[in-house]
Amino acid sequence: MLNSLGREIPEYIEGIGKLEPFQGALTKLSKGWMDEPTIPAPNKAYLPHQNKLCNSLEEAILRSNPHNGMTVSFHHHLRNGDILLVQTLTILHNMGIRDITLASSSLNECHDPILPYMKDGTITRIYSSGIRSQLGHAVALGVLDIPVVIHSHGGRVRSIHTGKIQIDLTVIAASAADCEGNATGSHGKSAFGSIGYAVIDARYAKQVIVVTDNLVDFPCIPLSISQNFVDQVVVVDSIGDASKIATGTTRITNSPMDLRIAKLAADVIEYSGFFEQGFAFQVGAGGASLAVAKFIREKMKTKGIKGSFMLGGITSYCVDMLNDGLFETIFDVQSFDATVSNSLLNNRRHIEIPAALYANPFNCGCITNKIDVVVLGALEIDVDFNVNVITGSEGKVRGASGGHSDTASGAKLTVVVCPSFRGRIPIIKKRVHTIVTPGESIHVLVTERGICVNPAFPELEENLKRAGLNIKDIHDLEIEVDKITGIPAPLEYTDKIVGVVEYRDGTIIDVIHQLKEK
């Protein structure tokens, strides 16, 4: 069957189940409720003064009823410094557990060591917002028989509510925790800031293990994860590589190209009609995206504009803007550097939020719904403004859906920033390889060679033209870039589906086919 973007979606996939085609970003939400029932959270009881402390991760896992076919979940707040995911799966592998569904909120390069477990049947299914490095390559080549499911951060919460992802065991790394399992990421030697993605796992997993390298006296404050959901607590020497968990401060890029694109994007925001008192703003942490914040900061100071809140992945740059009084509040679902942890811990206007409040579409209002302006990146964008942030030009899975479609759907102005080509590869395509975010959610594309406004928003285009910005038709820009780079030969795929890209409402926006090995 075809979804509304013309992508062929199978009706059923063995191991995943029945699929529903994407029908528009707000079509399902406009009903006002979610059709699928919400499954109940586990029902547990503990005796007074029962000891939750375990001597080792292995012992805790043994007590957690490990079994074939189980689903194990993790958060990715330790980014590329995480070691617990690999340790846990190695323990399960050594116990002879097979057919595991891995449900990590994202997968990074540090998780490459689990590749053998994907080959030997230890891991047979993956749900994640992102897959990179060797795992992404292997997935693209079809290492798993059952396609991986790529979800957004908000969509992951929905999947857990509906029981699409039923977590048997979650292992939650925390930089501080007490003996009852009250836990946080906001202090300790391995502090990583917000633990927002793990909150839903703690609530719904049948077994919850908190692992920390910093056991503090009861109670551990703040209660980012609270003890009433935690079964066991493990103290280890280290939860990860501190140098990769949180670097000092995030620096604004020095790349002239990223800065050029960022400056143009800031101009777009300034003249869009949405740059006004009390606006809400989100930027990513990557090159051009974060650099937009630098220019917006200057413009806010010059024009005397004060924003309402910043949202999302939070960098020290966002914290600086909060401390400058440029924004009232930060809502932090994920933090990117050490300075952020200090702010999260000490500034009451810097608020830790769970993924559900951040972006779950099926509740009475996630915060992404209140964004005025969001700046996002792209691996590819097509002439219909559909964005790919999951598969690279060589066909590998190498990115993350993350909050891309969540924030794009909620914002009044979604700005995509990217260079018009990378290396020799054009970024603007007639058709992107994989759609993650539908073009209807994207208002404007900013590249170094011109700004393209989605024709669905003529008033915005008028505003930007009036400001004298270099507006081009996206078809013209595509042709212009093709003239510079040439048109790359198409990649070759088999009919086998290796990945399913779920839109935040649970419908399927695209599938990823197996890359033919050269």
Nearest in space to 74 (alpha carbons), one of 154, 169, 152: 169
Compute the residue count for the chain: 518
CB of 252 to another protein, least distance (A): 11
CB of 420 to another protein, least distance (A): 9
CA distances from 320 to 106, 187, 317, 340, 410 (A): 27, 19, 5, 10, 25
Query: Are the C-beta atoms of residues 246 and 431 closer than 8 Å to each other?
Result: no
Measured from the CB atom, the residue of 257 and 351 that comes closer to another protein is 257
CB of 260 to another protein, least distance (A): 5
CB of 473 to another protein, least distance (A): 16
Measured from the CB atom, the residue of 131 and 262 that comes closer to another protein is 262
Query: Are the C-beta atoms of residues 478 and 466 closer than 8 Å to each other?
Result: no
Q: Which helix (H) or strand (E) holds 409?
A: helix 404-410
CB of 256 to another protein, least distance (A): 4
Measured from the CB atom, the residue of 253 and 391 that comes closer to another protein is 253
Measured from the CB atom, the residue of 262 and 333 that comes closer to another protein is 262
DSSP string, 159-171: HHHHTSS--SEEE
CB of 265 to another protein, least distance (A): 14
CB of 418 to another protein, least distance (A): 13
Residues with Cβ < 8 Å from 481, sequence gap 6 or more?
Answer: 420, 421, 426, 427, 428, 449
- For the record, the structure tokens of 466 come out as 């009036």
Measured from the CB atom, the residue of 67 and 260 that comes closer to another protein is 260
Residues with Cβ < 8 Å from 185, sequence gap 6 or more?
Answer: 77, 173, 174, 175, 176, 191, 192, 193, 194, 195, 224, 335, 341
CB of 373 to another protein, least distance (A): 21
Q: How big is the chain by its Cα radius of gyration, in Å?
A: 22
Measured from the CB atom, the residue of 382 and 448 that comes closer to another protein is 448
Please state, in angstroms and rounded to a whole number, the distance separating the CA atoms of residues 295 and 322: 15
Measured from the CB atom, the residue of 34 and 261 that comes closer to another protein is 261
In SS3 terms, 171-217 reads as: EEEECEECCCCCEECCCCCCCCCCCHHHHHHHHHCCEEEEEECCECC
Q: CB neighbours (10 Å) of residue 185?
A: 35
Contact footprint for another protein (CB under 8 A): 254, 256-257, 259-260, 263, 448-449, 468, 480, 484
Measured from the CB atom, the residue of 234 and 259 that comes closer to another protein is 259
